[in-house]
Amino acid sequence: MNKPYPIIGLEVHVQLKTKTKAFCRCENKYGGIPNTRVCPVCMGMPGMLPVLNIEVVSDALLAGKALNSNISRITKFDRKNYTYPDLPKGYQISQYDKPICLGGHINIEDESGNIKKINITRLHIEEDAGKLIHLEDGTNNSYVDYNRCGTPLLEVVSEPDIRSPEEAVKYLKNLKEIFEYIEISDCNMEEGSLRCDANISMIIPLDDGSEVNTPIVEVKNINSFSNIKKALEYEMIRQVEDFKKTGITNNGKNKMTYGYDDSKGITVFQRSKEGESDYRYFPEPDLPHLEISDEMLSDASKRLPELPDLKRKRLESQYGITSYDALTLSADKRMADYFEECCKTASNYKKAANFILTDICSILNNENITISSFKVKPEDIGELVNLLTDNTISSWIAKEVFEKMINTGKKPSQIVEEEGLSQVNNDEELIKIVDKVLSENPKSVEDFKNGKSNALKFLMGQVMKLSKGKANPVKTTEMLTERLK
């Protein structure tokens, strides 16, 4: 290796979408009028005590299983003490030395399809803080909204196994996909239900053949997938330049914190290790140790769905669809489920996949909804695909039928029958229409014979028009071509 390369580890915080908060019974929901989803417990009032929401533990166990982690049979909570206005108790209930899960991994794939394992150090449970709002209202006031305070978080810490910004993005995307699959989080970076901090240092080869390692930098305030790539790419260059200027290497004690400035596309120094808080961790006396029972473990196993990469491989092999189609279908677990449900009726799986990925997806995109809100039943789409496959209707008509299915909720076979939309497949009928069109459009015939191939398209169009779209397009083309010889 003669180029500098990065050593990257990622710390991801994921907000769990349990019904209520981690340690009180306030509703766990994004947004809302400030300070309305609060209670004396999450506001840290005198005499208040935390009570663990066991759903948080269930979700954490499920995540642990999905990431191949070792589950700690005894786990406990600790207080992480620091002062900040968005932290009502002056401490965050977190986990320090006995986190709920240790180890695990996420696989990422490179362009050639090689699998690389990114190892996970640990997973632990903690509570979120409130939100500070700095209004640009002319006063110098800042405001605090405690609605988010006490929301359950899962922190996933990776080993520093990541070797490029691209790998970092892949890791994050896979993690997001897994957590969406097991349905424990919305994983929405814009809403803050998925947050990422990166730890990065560079290995720089020197002329004499040795290598140096730059000090580790923690990069915070990354709020989108594209920003992760940009922030890491920027840091890589900055660290190498810094080393050239200062010659400072990693001595195990000089970690720094930088913040990513989205507007300028740069990272900005925030504080050195000396400026870091001493969190004075100690065991949370208000919450007893938690024993993970066999029942809790087996419940987690039962809840664990088929994970994305396994599903992709199976869809490919079971249904014979392309890996690209398998990839796209499985991006949303419910889309994959819809496809499989559809294939119980449809006989041509590839056509089914294609229809879902083009016609249905375009509707979903236009209306900004997901497949869960899509009202047409998968078995009806299956039926539609069968009508297409056996040439009962043309693809043109299929679109019309599809629209009618959405608007009326009727089954495709019903619509085709009621409106007489069956394709004209009968050669005798079809040739009559073709001949009629040819006789009515002598100029086009002339144009075609003079080499204008567009004329064929025009004549096709006329056949469709005359047949009200029901002409079998393949046969029509054959017949026209035959007649025009």
Partner 1 sequence: MNKKITYAEFQSNIKNTGSGYKNFYSNLLNEIKKNDEEINAFITINENMASDGEISDNFIKNSEDRPLEGMPISIKDNIAVSDIKMTCASKILENFIPPYNASVIDKLKNAGAVITGKTNMDEFAMGSTTETSFFGKTKNPVNNNYVPGGSSGGAAASVAAGFSVAALGSDTGGSVRQPASFCGVVGYKPTYGLVSRYGLTAFGSSLDQIGTISNNCRDAALVTSIICGVDSKDSTTVDITPENFTNFKSLDISGKKFAVITESLSEHTDSEVKRVITSKIEQIRQKGGIIEYVSIPELEYSVSIYYIIAPAEASSNLSRYDGIRFGLQTEKKPDTDVASLITKTRSEGFGEEVKRRIITGNFVLSSGYYDAYYKKAQKARIILSDKFKQIFNSFDYIITPTSPVLPFKSGETINDPLKLYTADLCTIPVNLAGLPAVSIPAGFSECGLPVGMQIIAPPFKDGELLGTGEFIMSEVK
Question: Which residues are at the interface with partner 1 (CB under 8 A)?
Answer: 40, 43-52, 79, 81, 83, 85, 88-91, 140, 142, 144, 146, 278, 280-282, 285-288
Output 143 or 324, the one with its CB closest to partner 1. 143
Which own/partner pairs from 457-465 qualify as long-range (CB within 8 Å, at least 24 positions apart)? 462/437, 463/433, 463/434, 463/437, 464/396
Output 91 or 355, the one with its CB closest to partner 1. 91
Instruction: Give the residues across from 217 on adjacent strands.
Output: 200, 256
Classify the C-alpha dihedral 280-285-287-291 as positive or negative. Answer: positive
Contact at 8 Å (CB) between 170 and 109? yes
Output 14 or 290, the one with its CB closest to partner 1. 290
Task: Name 236's Cβ contacts closer than 8 Å, sequence gap at least 6.
Answer: 4, 6, 165, 200, 202
Q: Shortest distance, CB of residue 86 to partner 1, whole angstroms?
A: 9
Helix (H, G, I), strand (E, B), or coil: what is residue 469? Answer: coil
Alpha-carbon distances, residue 453 vs 177, 318, 477 (angstroms): 48, 42, 12
Output 83 or 114, the one with its CB closest to partner 1. 83
What type of residue sits at position 430? L
Output 80 or 333, the one with its CB closest to partner 1. 80
| Rounded distance between C-alpha atoms, residue 242 and residue 254, angstroms | 14
Q: Shortest distance, CB of residue 85 to partner 1, whole angstroms?
A: 5
Q: Shortest distance, CB of residue 146 to partner 1, whole angstroms?
A: 8
Where are the strands (E) in 163-299, listed by range?
194-205, 211-213, 217-222, 256-261, 266-272, 282-283, 290-291
Q: Shortest distance, CB of residue 82 to partner 1, whole angstroms?
A: 9
Q: Shortest distance, CB of residue 339 to partner 1, whole angstroms?
A: 45
Output 140 or 373, the one with its CB closest to partner 1. 140
| Rounded distance between C-alpha atoms, residue 24 and residue 39, angstroms | 8
| Rounded distance between C-alpha atoms, residue 483 and residue 431, angstroms | 10
Q: Shortest distance, CB of residue 128 to partner 1, whole angstroms?
A: 17
| Rounded distance between C-alpha atoms, residue 267 and residue 51, angstroms | 39
Output 24 or 120, the one with its CB closest to partner 1. 24
Q: Shortest distance, CB of residue 54 to partner 1, whole angstroms?
A: 11
- Residue tagged 């699998």 (tokens): 115
Q: Shortest distance, CB of residue 279 to partner 1, whole angstroms?
A: 8
Output 88 or 308, the one with its CB closest to partner 1. 88
